[in-house]
Structure 1
């Protein structure tokens, strides 16, 4: 059973690295947002000009900041239960609460991702712009990021379920091996 646990650990590391890589995009967008806000503020104070559509860019750059970090947080720490309250329950009840939370998270995120994909198709077909200004940009890529983010978070919830079930199976098998002479 040690080999099975090793394979699970290897897959878990791969999933963790993929989610970490996706969260790096989140960090890059956060840095771009900070630089954009700082430059816009300095330009407006010292030169009385601002970056065209700066507010819209900041608004839309916050989408990947949020959605691309959530999956890594779920894989790394989990965030569906309140540990302060959950820790008061027996261990088996805590596991049930975690699995139910992960199942609900999977369903809600995948359904939201599906709805966001449909919205992306609509925004793409109409080429909806960020504003009515002449230098406005299309927003469908940002709606696509929301869709991808929801699907990735749904996959993270699903992986947490699989990981917990396989981990519990491996632990139970190891306990049985230790008990059996």
Structure 2
């Protein structure tokens, strides 16, 4: 069983790394758009011809913020970069630590399953109503579905963490 868990973990880690590159590209896009918008505003105010603020730039930056945040969550889980308070559990026996870690992983798994499911539901409702952004008329639903998609590798990582913690808890 450990071999299958290792394979799942390797696949999920590499997939999470790929998602992190997408998040990084989104961050570069946010930077470029913000800088371009500021230059457009300042040069337009200075009277330089042909320069204007980017229409809907704030909207696009907000959508890219969704991409950056959503696509980076799984890689943060790979790096164990989320907040953990272990100063109490460090003093406990390894089996108890494993049981507590399994419980926490199970709670996290339930949370991200719920987040993914509700994101799909919300995205479908946005798609049905045709909700779009005000300036650029960009549909909201693909970004909400992207959040749901990004929950999949987090759930897989938490499932692997849960299984490893259970194995640690029942280990003799």
TM-score by length of 1: 0.79
Q: Which of 113, 126, 131 matches 2:129? A: 126
Residue matched to 2:16 = 19
* Contact 2:101/2:165 (8 A) holds in 1: no
* CA-based RMSD: 2.5
* Contact 1:12/1:163 (8 A) holds in 2: no
How many angstroms apart in 1 are the aligned matches of 2:88 and 2:82? 13
Alignment length (residue pairs): 166
Cα 1:5/1:156, change in 2 over 3 Å:
closer
Residue matched to 2:48 = none
Residue matched to 1:92 = 95
1:138-160 superposed Cα distances (whole Å, 9 cap, x missing partner): 11111111211233322221122
SS of the equivalent of 1:51 reads coil
Unpaired runs of 5+ residues, structure 2, are 46-51
CA displacement at 1:70 relative to structure 2:
1.1
1:138 aligns with 2:135: no
Residue matched to 2:82 = 79
1:108 aligns with 2:111: yes
TM-score by length of 2: 0.82
